[in-house]
Amino acid sequence: MAIDAARILILAGASIFGLLGSVHLAYTFFSGKFLPRDGALVDAMKATSPGLTRHTSMWDAWIGFNASHGLGAILFAAIYILLAAKHMEILIQSKELILLGVAAGLAYLCLAHAYWFRVPFTGILIATSFFIAAAVLIFI
């Protein structure tokens, strides 16, 4: 019974991460939601390269960082959804994988608190709480 509840919590938490990552990826490529309100900043970003290299612009880096961020959340979600749905025994036997999910959630939560806004923070808080609750159920 506790394992079934843990499975549901992991599936729910991972689904939230997947949803947030998917929305982030969609906003990156199919909306203007991540455009600066000051249009001159877009022009400046397109005309400026980072100190690391002159082979890209700050604008291209901005798009790439946002895309890879969304893809990372989707990958994280996909791995835990597959594990919980089809290979729960791996999560039970390898408690490090559960702790890794908790640690990743806590890392995203710290980033959300420091740099992002309320919607992703709230979603990540809920998802991470689900991972923590699942870990407790698996560990006891």
Average pLDDT, the chain: 96
Give the type of residue at 35: L
**Residue in 19, 10, 36, 16 with CA at minimum distance from that of residue 99:** 10
Model confidence at 1: pLDDT above 90: no
Convert the pLDDT of each residue in 61-74 to its tens digit: 999 999 999 999 99
Q: How far apart are CA 123 and CA 133, in angstroms?
A: 15
Convert the pLDDT of each residue in 29-56 to its tens digit: 999 999 999 999 999 999 999 999 999 9
Q: What is the pTM of this model?
A: 0.94
Q: How far apart are CA 37 and CA 112, in angstroms?
A: 21
Enumerate the domain spans of the chain: 2-28+70-139
First to last CA, the chain: 12
